Amino acid sequence: MIDITTLGGKRIDENTFKQLIKQIKLKITEDYKFPPEIITLSGATIATLGNFSASTGKPKSKKTFNVSAIVAACLSGKEILNYKASLPEGKKKILYIDTEQSKYHCHKVMERIFKLAGLPTNTETDMIDFFVLREYTPEQRRDIINLALNSNSEYGLVVVDGVRDLLRDINNPSEALDIINDFMRWSSYYNLHIHTVLHLNKGDDNTRGHIGTELNNKAETVLQITKSLDDPDMSEVKAMFIRDKEFAPFAFRIDSNGLPQTVDGYKAEMSRDKKMHYSKLKNEQHREAIESVIGNNTPVGYNQMIILLQNGYSNIGYSRGRNTIINLLKYLLNMGFIAKIDKTYQYVYEEKDSGQSDSK
């Protein structure tokens, strides 16, 4: 045997190279079947084996509630929040990775999943492994996931909540590409589906950093979870990107038991009603929109303020053209939300009480 080439910086011998070519070479005479669907939503394919997807949204938009419903549907085989799921034989096990919460808060998520799936919370099950990786470095987290997948071939769904904690610098393109390559390699090599969670930017509806760009380009589906403009206790789920046909957006709210429940009769148009005047928005909604794009009290020029307002109101679901935003600025000036100082404009902050926190 002789060394003939390198792979990932390591020398490989002739036999290894031949095996590699055999594995990656596509043949016209072979039959390649469509990968098994494991998760659908209103008839649209959300997830297949050998691919990865994502849930994204602003902080407190209830992304993890949505993911809990997906996992519960996979565990139970029941339709939950419009999600239907079916893991194939030999791939029915789920691996849930949480990278940022304490064991206490992770246990609440796990308990929610069990309740949604109709499983007893006083009995252990081997259907799901829940790993808490808050205390580890990004490199260690990736190594643990890799070792877990290598040690158990029964995983059909892997949830990574959240992907940002698998890298040190969210704006490093090399790190982002490495993570996405890991997702593609893990999902393909181990024949499973990976669903991950990533925040949206505060200033717009784009996924965060280079990792967000790579997710949008490579993921099978990217779901966007957004707080409803009309009801802050309600969250809307829509397709940000999807390879299959789009599904009609739906909404859910949290019931008295702390579980997400579908809002019957919900019409997505209600949060994007073009006839709705900005004067009909609540003061809290105005402040949420403005504060999502103004991180300090620095005065800005007219054109910059128009752009900021357009992005900020889009963040809460009130997307409007420049002419409407110009009139909106006049309204905000009259209402005291914005102050004009010479030729600049400045947000007038309001003292707030410490509000109650909500899950992700």
pLDDT tens, 90-141? 999 999 999 999 999 999 999 999 999 999 999 999 999 999 999 999 999 9
Q: Which residue has the tokens 């967000």?
A: 212
DSSP 251-280: EEEE-TTS-EEE-TT--GGGGG-TT--GGG
What pLDDT does residue 353 have?
46
- Statement to judge: residues 76 and 182 lie in one domain: yes
Instruction: Say if 353 falls within a structural domain.
Output: no
- Statement to judge: residues 248 and 127 lie in one domain: yes
Sign of CA dihedral 121, 123, 128, 134: positive
Instruction: Say if 187 falls within a structural domain.
Output: yes
Q: With pLDDT > 70 as the criterion, what percentage of the chain qualifies?
A: 90
How many CA atoms lie less than 13 Å away from 161 in the CB half-sphere? 28
- Statement to judge: residues 165 and 254 lie in one domain: yes
259-290, pLDDT tens digit by residue? 999 998 776 543 455 567 888 888 888 988 89
Longest CA span, the chain:
81
C-alpha span between 128 and 158 (Å, rounded): 10
C-alpha span between 259 and 19 (Å, rounded): 49
- 3-class SS string, 21-43: HHHHCCCCCCCCCCCCEEEEECC
Instruction: Say if 352 falls within a structural domain.
Output: no
What total number of domains does the chain contain? 3
Per-residue pLDDT band for 169 (boundaries 50, 70, 90) equals very high
Q: What is the mean pLDDT of residues 52-79?
A: 95
Nearest to 175, CA basis, from 188, 162, 166: 166
- Statement to judge: residues 42 and 114 lie in one domain: yes
- Statement to judge: residues 148 and 11 lie in one domain: no
Instruction: Say if 356 falls within a structural domain.
Output: no
C-alpha span between 312 and 289 (Å, rounded): 5
- Statement to judge: residues 144 and 102 lie in one domain: yes
User: What single DSSP character describes residue 78?
Assistant: S
CATH number at residue 322: 1.10.10
CATH number at residue 117: 3.40.50.300
Contact 63, 225 (CB under 8 A): yes
> Alpha carbon 342 to chain centroid distance?
42
285-294, pLDDT tens digit by residue? 898 889 888 8
Q: Which residue has the tokens 């739906």?
A: 250
pTM (2 d.p.): 0.71
Domain with 5, as residue range(s), is 1-31
